[in-house]
């Protein structure tokens, strides 16, 4: 499985203006709060779902007492390296779970960059911004699991000496990465696999692009994929119609049982 928390090799540094920094927000805040009872949702027949509108309210990031107007000296970095699936069938076979639902809440941020000598420890000189989301599952197309699942997405990288970072560094890193956050008020189709646990919680994310589709109110299905990754995909990767896409996924799931059970 592709591990996004391993420090990427293709990095372009974007140096910030050197201004005074003060305060130390808890950038590695605690994990998402206690999960509800693991109510199982079985796979269900394909039916046309009620899709939410596409209006996307602002996303709340990590909260901190550090004013976001204060600048830090930590340079941010951008990586354009992606792993992509080359067919819908490949995306399905690589995924432990395929779910339809929406963002229920926005949680903690973790440093998902790992020490190359000991992957149980965070990297000392790199901070990979791992944003946590809680996701409310309406339906499982593959696998079964709880109603609420935690999603972890890398949304930027900061190169820094062994020191704490400011909220402004996180904001700048997210902006430089070009990664689209998961937004509330949007119905998503997600292809998920589990990642390593942080603070005792196992998180889920995409193993390869495209792992996110927006199911729009007009009945379309749009790949929510970075531009550079989108260019690497076949033109006919998936049907643009939501009903046709879900029907094709159901057919492929039935034809190819899961290689890795969902946790």
pLDDT tens for residues 33-55?
A: 333 334 444 443 333 323 333 33
Residue 97 lies in a domain: yes
pTM of the model: 0.70
Residue 4 lies in a domain: no
Evaluate if residue 91 carries a pLDDT over 80. yes
Residue 172 lies in a domain: no
Q: By residue range, what is the domain housing residue 249?
A: 83-154+179-255
pLDDT tens for residues 223-237?
A: 998 877 778 888 889
209 DSSP assignment: B
Residue 199 lies in a domain: yes
More confident residue, 55 or 137: 137
Tell me the C-alpha distance between 103 and 33, whole Å.
15
Over range 193-212, report the average pLDDT.
Answer: 86
Residue 123 lies in a domain: yes
Residue 96 lies in a domain: yes
Length of the chain: 263
- How far does the chain reach from its first CA to its final CA, in angstroms? 15
**How many domains is the chain partitioned into structurally?**
1
Evaluate if residue 215 carries a pLDDT over 90. yes
* Percentage of the chain exceeding pLDDT 90: 40
Count of alpha carbons within 13 Å of 241, Cβ hemisphere only? 5
Neighbour-count burial of 120, counting CB atoms closer than 10 A to its CB (0-12 exposed, 13-18 middle, 19+ buried): exposed
Residue 144 lies in a domain: yes
| Residue whose entry in the numeric block shows the structure tokens 């109110």 | 217
Where does the chain show beta strands of DSSP type E?
A: 12-14, 76-78, 97-111, 126-142, 148-159, 188-198, 201-205, 212-215, 221-223
Q: Which one of 75-79, 81-85, 189-193 scores highest in mean pLDDT?
A: 189-193
Per the CB < 8 A criterion, the answer to whether 26 and 134 are in contact is no
Selection from 123, 108, 116, 114 nearest residue 163 by Cα: 123
> Chain centroid to CA 12: how far?
21
Over range 70-87, report the average pLDDT.
Answer: 68
Evaluate if residue 74 carries a pLDDT over 80. no
CATH number of the domain within which 235 lies? 2.40.50.120
Cβ of 255: how many Cβ atoms within 10 Å?
A: 9
pLDDT at 4: 44
Per the CB < 8 A criterion, the answer to whether 81 and 178 are in contact is no
Residue 32 lies in a domain: no
Over range 239-253, report the average pLDDT.
Answer: 96
Evaluate if residue 202 carries a pLDDT over 60. yes
pLDDT at 233: 86
| Residue whose entry in the numeric block shows the structure tokens 């039916």 | 47
Neighbour-count burial of 60, counting CB atoms closer than 10 A to its CB (0-12 exposed, 13-18 middle, 19+ buried): exposed
């Amino acid at each position: 499985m592709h591990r996004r928390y391993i420090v990427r090799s293709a990095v372009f540094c974007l140096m910030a203006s050197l201004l005074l920094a003060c305060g130390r927000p808890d950038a590695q805040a605690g994990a998402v709060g206690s999960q509800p009872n693991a109510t199982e949702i079985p796979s269900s027949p394909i039916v046309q779902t009620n899709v939410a509108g596409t209006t996307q309210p602002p996303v709340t990031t990590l909260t901190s007492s550090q004013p976001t107007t204060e600048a830090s000296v930590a340079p941010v970095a951008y990586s354009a390296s992606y792993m992509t699936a080359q067919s819908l069938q490949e995306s399905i076979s690589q995924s432990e779970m395929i779910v339809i639902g929406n963002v229920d809440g926005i949680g903690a941020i973790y440093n998902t960059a790992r020490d190359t000598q000991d992957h149980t420890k965070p990297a000392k000189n790199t901070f990979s911004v791992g944003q946590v989301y809680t996701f409310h599952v309406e339906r499982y197309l593959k696998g079964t699991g709880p109603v609420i699942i935690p999603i972890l997405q890398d949304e930027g990288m900061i190169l820094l000496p062994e020191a704490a970072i400011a909220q402004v560094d996180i904001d700048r890193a997210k902006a430089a990465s070009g990664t689209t956050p998961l937004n509330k008020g949007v119905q998503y189709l997600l292809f998920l696999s589990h990642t390593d646990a942080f603070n005792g919680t196992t998180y889920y994310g995409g193993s390869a692009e495209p792992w996110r589709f927006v199911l729009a109110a007009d009945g379309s299905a749009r790949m929510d994929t970075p531009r550079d990754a989108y260019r690497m995909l076949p033109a006919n990767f998936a049907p643009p119609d939501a009903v046709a896409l879900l029907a094709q996924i159901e057919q492929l799931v039935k034809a190819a049982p899961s290689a890795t059970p969902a946790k």
